[in-house]
Amino acid sequence: MSGHMDGEQANSPPAEPSAFAAGLGRRSGQPGAGASEPTGAAVDRAFGPDDLRDLRRVVAAVASRWGAVPDRVDALKLIVGELTANAVRYAAGRGRLRVWRRGGQIHCEVSDSGPGFRDPQRVGLHRPAPMSLGGRGIWLVRALADEVTIEGGRSGAIVTARIRLGAPVSTLWKQHAAAPGF
């Protein structure tokens, strides 16, 4: 990931997606494909390094309240942990987390204004080598989520992971976890 976003936790619905995207250096009226145009978000919060543990706790509580089965809550905590840690590590230590429910899915979006990804559509598609120093975060997110969209370039990144509330962890994740060297 790449991020610096100003602002604090919002108790009111987030700005229109086009306004949110404009705040990331995009032109107004050009929302990202990762934004599912939520009418409100249970979590809409700027974060820094000291917030990561609390973000995982808050998201787990929200997902549980929405009726997510326990392994999906655990998967969501890992997804939030990986995406927010990437933003802190690669994007000047800051980012923004938004979580909302649409139908039977939880949407988790992390955005930042760091360097972005060289090839957003291919990042995390293949398991990194056991001794590589990086590359596991997005790979894990892709393995745990039912769907992942990644956008970004020089103006930052937006990663949106979607998981179904009641479905067990994906078969893909179980295959990854069983692989040697995991």
pLDDT in tens, 162-176: 999 886 665 545 555
Residue 8 maps to a domain:
no
Residue 173 maps to a domain:
yes
Q: Which amino acid is at 118?
A: R
Domain housing 35: 17-178
**Bridge partner list, 150:** 159
Residue 83 maps to a domain:
yes
Higher pLDDT, 10 or 149: 149
pLDDT for the residue numbered 55: 97
DSSP 144-171: HSSEEEEEEETTEEEEEEEEESSSPPPH
For residue 20, give Cα distances in angstroms to 101, 113, 150, 182.
18, 12, 16, 37
The CATH number that applies at residue 128 is: 3.30.565.10
Residue 45 maps to a domain:
yes
DSSP 113-148: -S---SSTTTTTSSPPPTT-SS-HHHHHHHHHSSEE
Residue 5 maps to a domain:
no
Tokens of 80: 């939030």
Residue 3 maps to a domain:
no
pLDDT for the residue numbered 63: 95
pLDDT tens track for 3-39: 333 333 333 333 333 333 333 332 222 334 444 445 5
Buried b / exposed e over 69-96, threshold 16 CB at 10 Å, is: beebbebbbbbbbbbbbbbbebbbbbbb
pLDDT for the residue numbered 131: 73
Count: domains in the chain: 1
Residue 4 maps to a domain:
no
Number of other CB atoms surrounding residue 15 within 10 Å:
13
pLDDT tens track for 74-88: 999 999 999 999 999
CA distance 152 to 39: 23
Higher pLDDT, 55 or 24: 55
Which 3 state secondary structure label does DSSP give 86? helix
pLDDT tens track for 80-134: 999 999 999 988 899 999 999 998 999 999 999 887 777 767 676 677 777 777 6
For residue 161, give Cα distances in angstroms to 50, 58, 172.
22, 17, 15
Residue 98 maps to a domain:
yes
